Amino acid sequence: MRSRTFAPLIAAILLLAGPAQAQLTIEIIGGGANQIPVAVLPFAGESALPQSITEIVEQDLSRSGRFRAIFVGGVNPPPTEIAQVNFPDWKSRLADALLIGEAKRLNDGRFEVRFRLLDVLKQSQIGGIAFTLTAAQTRLTAHKIADFVYEKLTGERGVFSTRIAYIVKQGPRYELRVADADGQNAQSILISPEPIMSPAWSPDGVRMAYVSFQNKKPILFVQSLTASKQPAPVANYRGSNSAPAWSPDGKQLAAVLTKDGTSQVYLMNADGTNLRRITFSDAIDTEPFFTPDGQSIYFTSDRGGSPQIYRMPAGGGEPVRVTFEGDYNVSPRVSHDGKILAYISRVNGRFQVMAMDLDSKQVQTLTDGPRDESPSFAPNGRIILYATDNDNRGVLAAVSSDGRFKQRLGIQAADVREPSWGPFLGN
Amino acid sequence: MKKALFSALTLALLYGCASTPVEPEKPAPPSAAPEVQPPVSARPIQPAAPQGDALPDRSKRSVFYEYDKYDVKDEYRPLLQAQGKYLAENRGKKMLIQGNCDERGSREYNIALGQRRAEGVKRMLLLMGATGTQVESVSLGEEKPRCTEHNEACWSQNRRSDMLYGGEY
């Protein structure tokens, strides 16, 4: 057996390297209801920055489905202070809110970007921030401004400055990539000639668990995203090792091993130590997912004759069946507020994203398939990212968790799959 | 853009043959290379196995399944009997059984389903004389399809367990 040779092999193919060539492009399919009309005015002096901040902010807001961009032409020069704003004009353009700002180069080569968000009806300032940034932080700053606008106007936290991970298959090559939530700024975390699957962000956003087939079978790894350390195998037992899921405190991993026969759920410390089995069936038990309070684990099992979703205490205990309609319900994911269960259901041969309200147990069909899989909640719970296909090519798509708004993200001539939305990062 | 085009071409070259689902297997059989050194010497390397017919070439060491199923059909019994016997008589030989699924459904659930397929083959080999240390069953799920089109002709080839001996994987 070659099990001892995989570490150097991985070392040889691991490239903690520069930006991935092909970027995800976003195509908006549906329209949201009750969109807030907002006018994003060009920031004075922003042409000195490598990207247009206001363009990114406007795109972020429009893509969220919650906002409608108001035409801002014919305002020259754009106002930078509240006193310069012609509020009646914006009222007649039907804008509810107005974003103004300016960018300046500082003596040390960095930039200052300041903005104000204004309430058109009240003719007052809702809020404003000044950032000091390097040119390389332009995009992140724009996403943070969009997050600010989103939060002030919707009352919920924005996810524009969060990151997503996904797998790209291009010819014989597999890549684990991390990108901004809008698909830009993609970085390859791992490149391999063998499949990579099931990327899962640690709750602190600095580690990634995934499954690699580098050694001709599924083995579970955890890789640091900050330190250029070798990815470490955390579960490499006889048989298959897959389906990693982090506990909300980031200290434990649930995973599926087959060392004792059929696929069963195990818990281990994040470094792979202290392994213990928590499901005991002779059926398939897989796809564990922790509830946000860390108390329960949802998982998929065919113990009842067909794959269905169950919930059990995280420390082990009696599972309770959660899905009952249909004969194929898999891939459970719980929203960060613990209120919605997203999963994949096979309906008349089509695989579709479903959302169950965990209080009322009402189920809503969010997508129409035919091959939708791997749902992943944005950390604010408003959007579910999932994998689908378009002309037989794997692409990512997003649907709002109320099903009203959809968009598609794809890369030319590559298969994109298994999205995983990263957590909010502290700031 | 040029890069994407190039990759698309590479992809087409790599998978062009696989997409015609006629005979995807082509690795070992010596008949493919006629004018090279005489292929005669390849035969007698076979180890001490007294039964020469015990080890069919790897393209014939596969078990195929119905959709969503993992039971081994009766037609594969002679194949598994021969493999189990070979392993029983050659304790030094190791085997990796890779279970595979078609692309439909959850990737992780398919890892579990492929595992169950491979495990079923392993159990039969153990009944026929192989030992647990000789045989490891693993799953490739839907990640390594032999055939990449989205139709039943392809899917039926991908619902498969392969029995591979040391050196073949």
| Pairing mode of beta strands A320-321, A308-313 | antiparallel
Within-domain flag for B13: no
Within-domain flag for B95: yes
Per-residue pLDDT at A287: 98
Within-domain flag for B11: no
The pTM score is 0.85
Question: What CATH topology corresponds to A25-154?
Answer: Rossmann fold (3.40.50)
Per-residue pLDDT at B54: 54
Per-residue pLDDT at A28: 57
Domain with CATH 3.40.50.10070 in chain A: 25-154
Locate the chain B residue with the closest alpha carbon to A196. B143
Within-domain flag for B43: no
Q: Considering only CB atoms, which chain B residues are within 8 Å of A238?
A: 136
Q: State the total domains in chain B.
A: 1
Confidence of residue A21 (pLDDT cuts 50, 70, 90): low
Locate the chain B residue with the closest alpha carbon to A261. B119
Per-residue pLDDT at A32: 58
Within-domain flag for B128: yes
Q: Is A373 on the interface with B (CB under 8 A)?
A: yes
Confidence of residue B23 (pLDDT cuts 50, 70, 90): very low
Question: A239 Cβ partners below 8 Å, 6+ apart?
Answer: A217, A257, A258, A259, B115, B119, B136, B137, B138, B139
Residue carrying the six token digits 């037989």: A392
> How close A287 comes to chain B (CA, Å)?
7
pLDDT digits (tens, 9 = 90+) for A144-158: 999 999 999 999 999
Q: CATH number of the domain at B128, please.
A: 3.30.1330.60
Confidence of residue A141 (pLDDT cuts 50, 70, 90): very high
Per-residue pLDDT at A387: 96
Taking 50 as the threshold, does the pLDDT of residue B19 lie above it? no
Taking 80 as the threshold, does the pLDDT of residue A265 lie above it? yes
The CATH superfamily assigned to A166-421 is TolB, C-terminal domain (2.120.10.30)
Distance CA A75, CA A96 (A): 17
Locate the chain B residue with the closest alpha carbon to A239. B138
Within-domain flag for B96: yes
Mutate to test the interface with B, among A25, A240, A279, A390 (most CBs of B within 10 A): A240
Confidence of residue A75 (pLDDT cuts 50, 70, 90): confident
Q: Is B144 on the interface with A (CB under 8 A)?
A: yes
Distance CA B85, CA B90 (A): 8
ipTM: 0.90
Per-residue pLDDT at A220: 98
Average pLDDT over residues A234-263: 97
Per-residue pLDDT at A208: 97
> How close B139 comes to chain A (CA, Å)?
6
Note down the domain range covering B154.
64-169
pLDDT digits (tens, 9 = 90+) for B127-148: 999 999 999 999 999 999 999 9
| Tokens found for residue B74 | 């009766």
Q: What is the mean pLDDT of chain A?
A: 91
Average pLDDT over residues A358-384: 95
**Helix B107-127 and helix B77-89: axis angle, to 10°?**
60
| Tokens found for residue B73 | 């059909």
Confidence of residue A390 (pLDDT cuts 50, 70, 90): confident
Helix (H), strand (E), coil (C) string for chain A: CCHHHHHHHHHHHCCCCCECCCCCEEEECCCCCCCEEEEECCCECHHHCCCCHHHHHHHHHHHCCCEEECCCCCCCCCCCCHHHCCHHHHHHCCCCEEEEEEEEECCCCCEEEEEEEEECCCCEEEEEEEEEECHHHHHHHHHHHHHHHHHHHHCCCCCCCCEEEEEEEECCEEEEEEEECCCCCCEEEEEECCCEEEEEECCCCCEEEEEECCCCCCEEEEEECCCCCCCEEEECCCCCEEEEEECCCCCEEEEEECCCCCCEEEEEECCCCCCEECCCCCCCEEEEEECCCCCEEEEEECCCCCCEEEEEECCCCCCEECCCCCCCEEEEEECCCCCEEEEEEEECCEEEEEEEECCCCCEEECCCCCECEEEEECCCCCEEEEEEEECCEEEEEEEECCCCCEEEEECCCCEEEEEEECCCCCC
Per-residue pLDDT at A13: 38
Domain with CATH 2.120.10.30 in chain A: 166-421
pLDDT digits (tens, 9 = 90+) for B24-68: 433 443 444 444 444 455 544 444 444 444 577 888 899 999 999
Upper half-sphere CA count for residue A179 (Cβ side, 13 Å): 26
Taking 70 as the threshold, does the pLDDT of residue B79 lie above it? yes
Q: Considering only CB atoms, which chain B residues are within 8 Å of A21?
A: 3
> How close A181 comes to chain B (CA, Å)?
22
Per-residue pLDDT at A74: 82
Which residue, among A238, A239, A241, has the nearest Cα to A222 in the 3D structure? A241
Confidence of residue A30 (pLDDT cuts 50, 70, 90): low
Per-residue pLDDT at A27: 61
Confidence of residue A286 (pLDDT cuts 50, 70, 90): very high
Distance CA A282, CA B47 (A): 38
> How close A195 comes to chain B (CA, Å)?
6
Within-domain flag for B29: no
Distance CA B86, CA B76 (A): 15
